[in-house]
Amino acid sequence: MSISRREEVLHAAAELFAEQGFHAVGMRAIADAVGVRGSSLYHYFPSKVDLLHAIAVDSTRAFIESQLEDLNPSPDYASRVRKMMFDHVVYFHEHRMEEAVGLRELQELRKHKPEAYTELQTLRRTYQNELERLITEGRDKGEFSCEDPHITTLAILGMVNTINDWYRPHRDGPIEDIADIYSSLIVERMLGKTA
Amino acid sequence: MSISRREEVLHAAAELFAEQGFHAVGMRAIADAVGVRGSSLYHYFPSKVDLLHAIAVDSTRAFIESQLEDLNPSPDYASRVRKMMFDHVVYFHEHRMEEAVGLRELQELRKHKPEAYTELQTLRRTYQNELERLITEGRDKGEFSCEDPHITTLAILGMVNTINDWYRPHRDGPIEDIADIYSSLIVERMLGKTA
DNA sequence: GTCTATAGAGGGATAGAC
DNA sequence: GTCTATCCCTCTATAGAC
């Protein structure tokens, strides 16, 4: 099962954009990483910004959809939030290059592809709303003692989205362990899971 | 009390770098913002990277020093952590342009000014260690019920350092209110302040 | 201390052969 | 689908007049 050249280009570009930033990476550098000439990239993407577009929107959509499709059938809210956060941490680690690009190059997309920027913001907002809804309903059901679901949601997302800034597998152990610690911190402590 | 032209340049550059990123901003754009020609900037800074250096290192050092100098004499650890986090949130909002640059352009500094990068990392590490120390000692004294001071410290810093990504004064109210909510979330909940 | 003018390098992108 | 060749533009930085 070999991957297409187009996917090769996307992956190489994501890695370089994540490490150095969109403007620091030239089309020639991406081409070098794939083993072709700069002009060959234009066979797959009409411009450098379209490359960024594909990386940011595709990866964000894939993440949101995978997270929201099987909002698991667990009856209690605590289990549902716990699973959502655990999966979030693991997924963000496994796709850290693409997700870093999606988080950091927002303004570039806003400038050159406004409709792609809007789509990204809508996707993020959908995810944020879903988390806030789980927290609010869980609190109304008496499962949580959380005081401010909105701000707490933003705090949680800030926490989990910055793990990749410090996490190094060899030094910090398996990502699943980190995901466990964060999930507990969120559900038991920040949300004050009762009983 | 007028500010020097050098400071004008630093402030304009910080704002532009924060909004668009280091590589997206040309020396001409910075010069335009100040009202001079591009070449005039080289009277104050030998290169564009030196401008970034000044913004990132100076602002980070100012923040760390202001935070660590009056580690207030309050006897209990809960009050000390609360004040540290409250001040952190307010300071980061008031200096959001410079701090955004310091957080986001690390790799650029690492590439072109390794010694400046090292200094920045040392400063950050000092601050992180101080927070972790307060949490660990507070737990040992029985004030907190925190289980993993190291990971909890990283989670807290991720939370507070991403507030500027979503906070808008007109929509979200005074920054002091946000600082209060975050401080409580951290001290009462994440650290499990006892009694 | 600010200007004009420009050097020198590298950027994104296109044309057209194969 | 990939190449060579190249266009045109913008970038950082410098030289030297004022």
pLDDT of residue A166: 98
- Chain C bases closer than 7 A to any CB of the protein: 1-5, 10-16
Chain B, 42-81: which CBs lie within 7 Å of strand D?
Answer: 42, 46-49
Residue given tokens 């900037």 in the structure block: B41
DSSP B147: S
pLDDT for res B75: 80
Residue of chain A whose Cα is closest to the Cα of B167: A154
User: What pLDDT sits at residue A74?
Assistant: 78
CA–CA dist A53, A105 (Å, integer): 10
Confidence of residue A71 (pLDDT cuts 50, 70, 90): low
HSE-up (13 A, CA, CB side) for residue B115: 2
Point out the residue among B19, B160, B182 whose CB comes nearest to the CB of A107.
Answer: B19
Beta carbon of B39 within 7 Å of strand C?
yes
User: Nearest by CB to B151, which of A22, A181, A192?
Assistant: A181
Separation of CA A95 and C1' C8 in angstroms? 40
Q: Which residue has the tokens 């994440």?
A: B190
List, for residues A145-162, the tens digit of each pLDDT value.
999 999 999 999 999 999
In this prediction, residue A62 carries a pLDDT of: 95
Residues belonging to chain B with any Cβ–Cβ distance to chain A shorter than 8 Å: 19-24, 104, 107-108, 111, 147-148, 151-152, 154-155, 157-163, 165-166, 178, 181-182, 184-185, 189-190, 192
Please write the tens of the pLDDT for every residue from B130-176: 999 999 999 999 999 999 999 999 999 999 999 999 999 999 999 99
Dihedral (CA of B91, B148, A18, A82) sign: negative
Q: Which residues contact B13 (CB under 8 A, 6 or more apart)?
A: B25, B30, B51, B52, B55
Quick one: pLDDT at residue B72? Answer: 64
Q: pLDDT digits over B52-75, tens only?
A: 999 999 999 999 999 988 666 778
Q: Which domains does chain B carry?
A: 48-190 (1.10.357.10)
Q: Which of B15, B17, B23, B148 best probes binding to A when mutated, by most A CB atoms within 10 angstroms?
A: B23
* Any strand C atom closer than 7 Å to B46 CB: no
Q: Is the CB of A121 under 7 A from strand D?
A: no
Distance CA A163, CA A128 (A): 18
- A111 CB-to-strand C distance under 7 Å: no
Q: CA at A29, C1' at D6: how many angstroms apart?
A: 19
Is the pLDDT score of A72 beyond 70?
A: no
Q: Is the CB of A28 under 7 A from strand D?
A: no
- The answer to whether A108 contacts B24, with C-beta atoms less than 8 Å apart, is yes
Percent share of chain B, pLDDT over 90:
92
Nearest C-alpha of chain B: how many angstroms from A42?
A: 22
